[in-house]
Amino acid sequence: MTQALTMAVIVLAVIVAALVVAVFAIARQVGILYERIAPMGALILDAGPKVGEQAPAFSLPALDGRSVDIGKATATSTLLFFLSPTCPVCKKLLPILRSTARSEAAWLRIVLASDGEPAAQEKFYRQAKLEEFPYVLSTELGLAFKVSRLPYAVLLDESGRVTAKGLINSREQLESLFTAKELGVSSVQEYLKSA
């Protein structure tokens, strides 16, 4: 009887030791996966004003008649969000922009930018209920920032300098622009490479 009990204790000790080794191995693998699957920030296209450069200055009329200054000194940072009424990803991001506009209102204004037929843009502006945002139509603005794909965003600081930019497909990528500004780097990828 005592021999069976001793044998059971030895078997249990071996099982516990094996489980401890397995837990450490799994923890190591989780750490390796975390390094491999780092946060994916906005994809920076090497075109347009570089991060740290002064943005081109514009004073444009918005669809609601307001005048919108871009690339000039303002009280808050400016997020230029380039979109199109025919872009499904742009439409998917509109609720995220609304949420961001509310949560970051103390330091950020969001300006929507597009080009194309004014009648179609105004229809989209009304149907999507975008009245809370200045919405400018300007081919020159898109050309100045060398926007080739949508949705694309450029974050300007209060002095009108480009602090972050990139192709935006998700909330994570949009927020990566804010993180890059806070860290003082051009992108989250640059920060992860240097860390």
DSSP per position, 89-157: HHHHHHHHHHHHHHHTTTTEEEEEEE-S-HHHHHHHHHHTT-TTS-EEE-HHHHHHTT--SSSEEEEE-
Structure confidence at residue 104 (pLDDT): 96
Per-domain boundaries in the chain = 1-37, 58-194
Classify domain 58-194 at the CATH class level. alpha beta
Instruction: Supply the pTM of this predicted model.
Output: 0.78
20: three-class secondary structure by DSSP = helix
Judge if the upstream peptide bond of residue 151 is cis by omega within 30 degrees of 0.
yes
Structure confidence at residue 39 (pLDDT): 55
Structure confidence at residue 31 (pLDDT): 76
Beta partners for residue 109, in sequence order: 78
Contact 64, 135 (CB under 8 A): yes
Structure confidence at residue 5 (pLDDT): 87
Chain centre to alpha carbon of residue 3: 65
**Which structure tokens are listed for 19?**
């489980």
Structure confidence at residue 1 (pLDDT): 75
Averages of pLDDT over runs of 10 residues in the chain (195 residues) are: 88 93 90 64 77 95 94 96 95 96 96 94 95 96 94 96 94 92 81 67
Beta strands 162-167; 108-114: pairing state:
unpaired
